[in-house]
Structure 1
Amino acid sequence: MIVVDKLCYRSKLRYVNAGEKFVFSMVTLLFCIISRSFLIAAIAFFVNGFLVVKKGGISFGRYIRLLAVPFTFLILSTLAVIVNISRVPLDAYAVPVGTFFITGSRESLWFGMQLIGTAMASVSCLYFLSLNTTMTDILDVLDQLHCPEIMIELMMLIYRFIFVLMETASSIMVSQKSRLGNRNLKISIQSFGQMGAGLFIRALRRSNALYDAMESRCYDGKIKVLSVQHPVKKKEVIMIILYEFILLAVWIGGKM
């Protein structure tokens, strides 16, 4: 299983109503994106972290490692905003390199911080949903929201094939390692290319076999999955509404 799947099945918040978690994460995500407020992003980031670690029971170290992946990409992509090469030094910092300066302005630094804050808060909203809600529950919520059936079917099939491809790729890599297929860089690159080609062919075969199996079980264009409906709790709904109103108040207060 994927690490995120393992964590969501072990989460203490797994049996909280999926609709509540979906609304909480999506509304908070919209506030983060639309407001572009560093304060709202900070509040959302720490609240989501508290819920995932303290309420969900996921270890703090594991959560930080999961956040480190998007944070690394954000830092690398934001360098283009906060770092400039110019003949004229800007007001935030300036490092002379020959006749040029590696420099940046205060405005660009603040914009970069806002960008990182908004993106990390948005990621934390999605992590809250994915680390505490199973994929079948999420798809069930989308079905209740009357999302197009074709989109839900594709999501379900793609989700299923992630595991199929991972299992197939893992078996190919074990076979290559047992034959010293990674003993140097050149052979490793060749092995990787061969694995990609073999994975593509096997994926086509597995997809045909899967479709035949579905047809033999009276597949009518819709995958039916049993889902358990967890009750909506008034206390949790009230807390969500109060939290979103606080974010709205902070946003309005920041504009005044």
Structure 2
Amino acid sequence: MIAVDKLCYRSKLRYVNAGEKFTYSMLTLLFCIVSRSFVLSGAVLMVNTTLTVGKGGIPLRRYISLMAVPSAFLILSTLAIIVNISKIPLDGYALPVGTFFITGSKASVLFGLRLIVTALAAVSCLYFLSLNTTMTDIMSVLGGLRCPKIVLELMLLIYRYIFVLMETASAMLVSQKARLGNKDLKTSLRSFGRMGSGLLIRAFQRSGTLYDAMESRCYDGRIRVLEEQHPAKPSEIALIISYELVLLAYTVWRGVA
């Protein structure tokens, strides 16, 4: 099972109404993108971290490790905005290297930092949803929003095949290690290529077997999944509405100002 999926099933917020969590995550994500505010994004990031770690019971170390992946990507991507090589030093900072300067302006540094915080706040919204809501609950909410059935079925099948392919790849990797398939770089690259080709063939075989199994169980074009019903609580709805109204008011105020 994927680590995110394990954390999701252990979350203390798992049995909170999925519609509430979906609405909270999507609206908060929308306000982060629209406002592009350092203050709003920072507040959203702290609130989502508190909810996921404090209320959901997700270990802080695991949450930080999950956030480290997009953080590293964002920092590397933002370097192109913050760092410039020029013969003329800019007002933000300037490090002399020979006849050139590694430099940047205050505006570019502030823009890069705001971009990083906004993106991390948006990622924290998605992590709040994925770490506290099961895939079946998310698809139930999307079904209630009249999402096309074919899209939901593809999501379910792809989600299922992630685990199938990971299990197959793990077994092939163990087999290669047992045969010293990673003893040096050349052998490792050859083994990786063979694992990829073998995994592709296994994927086609497993998909055919899966379809035959579905047909033998009277598959009529729709996959039915048992859904757990968790009624929404008025107090939680009131808190979500109040929070989103505060974000809306700040976004409007910042746009006017």
- Report the TM range for the smaller structure's normalisation: over 0.9
Gaps of 5+ in 2: none
Alignment of 1:6-155 (within 5 A): 6-155=6-155
Cα distance in 2 for partners of 1:62, 1:28 equals 23
Cα distance in 2 for partners of 1:138, 1:14 equals 11
Provide the secondary structure at the position in 1 that maps to 2:218.
Answer: coil
Cα distance in 1 for partners of 2:81, 2:154 equals 37
User: Which position in structure 1 is the counterpart of 2:236?
Assistant: 236
Q: Provide Cα deviations, 1:5-62, integer angstroms capped at 9, x if missing partner.
A: 0001000000000000000000000000111111110111000000001100111111
* Count of residue pairs brought into register by the alignment: 256
How big is the shift at 1:230? 0.4
Q: Give the letter aligned to residue 116 of structure 1.
A: I
Q: Give the letter aligned to residue 98 of structure 2.
A: G
Provide the secondary structure at the position in 2 that maps to 1:177.
Answer: helix
Determine if the alignment matches structure 1 residue 214 to structure 2 residue 214.
yes
Q: Give the letter aligned to residue 130 of structure 1.
A: S
Alignment of 1:161-172 (within 5 A): 161-172=161-172
Cα distance in 1 for partners of 2:30, 2:253 equals 17
Cα distance in 2 for partners of 1:100, 1:139 equals 55
Q: Decide which moves more: 125-134 or 246-255.
A: 246-255
Cα distance in 2 for partners of 1:211, 1:77 equals 42
Alignment of 1:176-195 (within 5 A): 176-195=176-195
Cα distance in 2 for partners of 1:61, 1:127 equals 14
Root-mean-square deviation over aligned CA pairs: 0.7
Cα distance in 2 for partners of 1:128, 1:69 equals 16
How big is the shift at 1:253? 2.8
Contact 2:176 2:182 in 1 (8 A): yes
TM-score (norm 1): 0.99
How big is the shift at 1:134? 0.2
Provide the secondary structure at the position in 2 that maps to 1:187.
Answer: helix
Q: Provide Cα deviations, 1:127-157, integer angstroms capped at 9, x if missing partner.
A: 0000000000000000000011111111111
Cα distance in 2 for partners of 1:137, 1:43 equals 27
Cα distance in 1 for partners of 2:89, 2:214 equals 65
Provide the secondary structure at the position in 2 that maps to 1:85.
Answer: strand
